[in-house]
Amino acid sequence: MDITIGHTPDADDAFMFYGMLTGKVTSPHFNVKHVVEDIETLNRRSLKHELDVTAVSAHACAYLDKYTILRSGGSFGKGYGPIVVAKQDTSVEKLQKSKIAIPGKLTSAFLLLELMIGKFDYIEMKFSDIPDAVASGAVDAGLVIHEGQITYDQKNLVKLLDVGSWWRDSTGGLPVPLGVNVMSNHFGIETIKKFDEFFRESIVYGMARPGEALDYAMQYGRGQSKETIDRFVRMYVNDVTIEMGILGEQAIRNLFQFGIEKGLVPEFELRIA
């Protein structure tokens, strides 16, 4: 069957899909067509149920009643995750009164920061534009995701908050639930599980051939060095990516439990394959 897959122009996603999208890993059940868009665009498209399978922020799943979360392909940080950066150090109290650039209201980073410091004034912009916006003074601070978490100092910015460390300490060491992949419920659970296994094989293939998969992923390196992209990929493609397991599933459930308790997300039925 033909299915359309959405993934982000990010090296970790490309690394995961390397086997599948290059035909190194095949399935007798699926013919894949892929589209590439930034994560907040994919979040918005998923609200309209436009794609069969798509990467989304874990946060967006609170609003997706027509999709099931796959057990493979998740981006979970182990003690690290989004950070807040600024041109100079400041207190949390001042930060709460500042304008913070965020990569989208449906991103997990936004929900996690709200859980950490409460509601704050923000402006949405493309994630890759945030470091420059902070450096230029267009915003007071920025919520940074992807490789910006490890390259912010190149723009002489300082780290104010580490959301990943806060989550780890607040949950007894659970991984930080950032991105997941979802598949439309109209396929039925058996087909969803078949695709989940296909995707898992692609991830395992790439992890067994990191040099090849990294070379493929570099097309989404956004001008960063191979060393930087390698470091970024290794941060977010790990054993929890292959199979979220008990800890990954619990991390997702905790994210929404905390969000519901604070009135940041609605109550909903969480569907995990």
* Distance in angstroms (rounded) separating the CA atoms of residues 163 and 78: 12
Handedness of CA 89, 92, 96, 97 (dihedral sign): negative
| Same structural domain, 115 and 49 | no
pLDDT at position 94 is: 86
pLDDT at residue 223 is higher than 90 = no
The answer as to whether 270 is a domain residue is no
What's the domain range around 106?
83-171
pLDDT of res. 254: 97
Residue 194 has pLDDT above 90, yes or no: yes
pLDDT band of residue 221 (cuts 50, 70, 90) is confident
Residue among 41, 61, 63, 26 nearest 124 (CA): 41
The pLDDT score that the predictor gives to residue 79 is 78
Question: Given this model, what pLDDT does residue 183 score?
Answer: 98
Are 149 and 130 part of one and the same domain? yes
Asked if 108 and 76 count as a contact pair (C-beta separation under 8 A), the reply is: no
* Shared domain check, 192 and 212: yes
pLDDT tens, 250-269? Answer: 999 999 999 999 999 999 99
The contacts of residue 15 (CB under 8 Å, 6+ apart) are 206, 213, 214, 216, 217, 233, 237
Over residues 144-160, mean pLDDT: 85
Q: Based on the fold, state whether residues 206 and 256 are members of the same structural domain.
A: yes
Q: Which of 34, 59, 146, 186 is catalytic?
A: 146
Q: Are residues 235 and 187 in the same domain?
A: yes
108 falls within a domain: yes
Tokens (6 digits) for 66: 């027509």
229 & 95 share domain: no
Here the tokens at position 18 are 């390397």
Nearest to 135 by CA among 101, 109, 108: 101
273 is a domain residue: no
Same domain, 72 and 87: no
Q: Is residue 269 part of a domain?
A: no
Domain count, the chain: 2
Above pLDDT 70, what percent of the chain?
Answer: 100
Q: Which amino acid is at 19?
A: G
Residue 150 has pLDDT above 80, yes or no: no
Poorest-confidence range of 94-108, 141-155, 178-192?
141-155
Residue 246, pLDDT > 90, answer yes
pLDDT band at 149 (very low <50, low <70, confident <90, very high): confident
- The residue assigned the tokens 């397991």 is 245
Is residue 62 in some structural domain?
yes
Residue 187 maps to a domain: yes
Determine the average pLDDT of the residues in 228-242.
90
Q: Is 146 marked active-site?
A: yes
Q: Is 136 exposed, middle or buried (0-12, 13-18, 19+ CB in 10 A)?
A: exposed
Q: What is the pTM of this model?
A: 0.93
Last residue of a domain, one of 171, 203, 228: 171
- pLDDT by residue (tens digit) across 26-85? 999 999 999 999 999 999 999 999 999 999 999 999 999 999 999 999 999 987 899 999
Q: Are residues 108 and 180 in the same domain?
A: no
Q: What is the CATH number of the domain that holds 131?
A: 3.40.190.10
118 has pLDDT over 90: yes
**CA–CA separation, 104 vs 57, rounded Å?**
10
Tokens of 203: 């991830």
Mark 240-259 as b/e (b = at least 16 C-beta within 10 Å). bbbbbeeebbbbbebbbebb
Question: Three-state secondary structure along the chain?
Answer: CEEEEEECCCHHHHHHHHHHHCCCCCCCCCEEEEEECCHHHHHHHHHCCCCCEEEEEHHHHHHCCCEEECCCCCEEECCCCCEEEECCCCCHHHHHCCEEEECCCCCHHHHHHHHHHCCCEEEECCHHHHHHHHHHCCCCEEEECCCHHHHHHHHCCEEEEEHHHHHHHHHCCCCEEEEEEEEEHHHCHHHHHHHHHHHHHHHHHHHHCHHHHHHHHHHHCCCCCHHHHHHHHHHHCCHHHHCCHHHHHHHHHHHHHHHHHCCCCCCCCCCEC
Last residue of some domain: 123, 140, 171? 171
Residue 90: pLDDT over 90: no
Do 45 and 164 sit in the same domain of this protein? no
